[in-house]
């Protein structure tokens, strides 16, 4: 179903799995998450939103319904949330997680954490969210996507590897890309709360899922250029256990 990619001598240490298509890549990531939960039923899972992980979550729900996995003792932390959207707003990440995953599995709702886009003091809430992650013992497995500009979570170009959970301004390119989920670009929130790159790098294991040729340049620059603030995902090279799961299209610019 998939094969590893051999990398050039100066490439980073990330493991890379290339699958035939997006469906196979999504299934591969689902299998890895289910296996991790079965190995550690009380694990802390870091979760992502957006178009890319939707099929992975559908596969996980299928596996749960088939009796292959339980989530009753799992704790989850999401990467980010728009500021100004309540958890009941159809474009909030809390709403996405409920509709795509949480409402369909046996995870305890009290153990699902998503930043509060309606927090009265977003800066204080970001500090509290970081503290909640630490109090949980840290994230065991973090799922990531990657933006067209190389962002991970809402860590846009310019973010350093020392950043923590905080309030950020979204770049015009990210607002434009996310406008497809809203009636217009004007409705896309301009700020968000996001885990920092430093927060993400403290996860014990990281899985990054990327599909489609629109992600190919960001994937190549993340894996085969020197780490820099220009491509936030390139900081993942500093992590000892990170795996990129790609379809052929997303892997199309990699040096084989």
Outline where the chain has alpha helix (H): 22-39, 54-65, 93-100, 122-135, 172-178, 197-201, 216-224
Reply yes or no on whether 151 is catalytic. Answer: yes
The reported pLDDT for the residue numbered 8 is 36
The whole model's pTM is what?
0.93
Pick the catalytic residue: 151, 178, 239, 247?
151
Task: Answer yes or no: 81 catalytic.
Answer: no
pLDDT digits (tens, 9 = 90+) for 33-81: 999 999 999 999 999 999 999 999 999 999 999 999 999 999 999 999 9
184 confidence band (pLDDT: 50, 70, 90): confident
Q: Is 225 a catalytic residue?
A: no
* 73 among known catalytic residues: no
Which residue among the candidates 59, 78, 111, 149 is catalytic per the annotation?
Answer: 149
Over residues 113-133, mean pLDDT: 98
Q: Look at the domain 2-244 and name its fold.
A: Rossmann fold (3.40.50)
Q: Catalytic pick from 12, 59, 80, 111?
A: 80
What span, in angstroms and rounded, lies between the C-alpha atoms of 179 and 145? 17
Could you identify the residue written with the tokens 């196979």? 24
Check 63, 81, 140, 156 and give the catalytic one. 156
Q: What pLDDT, on the 0 to 100 scale, is given for residue 10? A: 40
Contacts of 172 (CB under 8 A, 6+ apart): none
What residues have CB less than 8 Å from 129, skipping those under 6 apart?
77, 113, 115, 165, 193, 195
Which residues share a beta bridge with 135? none
Contact 126, 193 (CB under 8 A): yes
């Amino acid at each position: 179903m998939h094969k590893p990619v051999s990398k050039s001598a100066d490439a980073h240490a990330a493991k890379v799995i290339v699958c035939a298509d997006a469906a196979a890549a999504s299934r591969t990531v689902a299998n890895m998450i289910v296996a991790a939960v079965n190995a550690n039923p009380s694990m802390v899972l870091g979760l992502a939103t957006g178009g890319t992980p939707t099929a992975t979550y559908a596969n996980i729900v299928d596996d749960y319904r088939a009796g292959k996995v339980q989530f009753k003792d799992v704790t989850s932390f999401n990467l980010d949330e728009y500021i100004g959207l309540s958890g009941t707003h159809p474009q909030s990440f809390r709403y996405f997680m409920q509709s795509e995953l949480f409402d369909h599995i046996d995870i305890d709702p009290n153990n699902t954490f998503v930043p509060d886009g309606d927090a009265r003091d977003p800066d204080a809430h970001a500090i509290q969210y970081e503290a909640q992650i630490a109090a949980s013992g840290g994230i065991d497995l973090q799922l990531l996507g990657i933006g067209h500009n190389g962002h991970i979570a809402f860590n846009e170009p310019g973010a350093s590897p020392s950043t923590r959970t905080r309030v950020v301004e979204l770049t015009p390119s990210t607002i434009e890309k996310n406008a497809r989920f809203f009636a217009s670009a004007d409705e896309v929130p301009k700020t968000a709360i996001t885990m920092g790159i430093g927060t993400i790098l403290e996860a014990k294991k990281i899985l990054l899922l990327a599909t489609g040729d629109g992600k190919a340049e960001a994937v190549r620059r993340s894996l085969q250029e020197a780490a820099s603030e220009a491509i936030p995902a390139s900081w993942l090279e500093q992590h000892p256990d990170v795996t990129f799961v790609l379809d052929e299209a997303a892997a199309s610019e990699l040096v084989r």
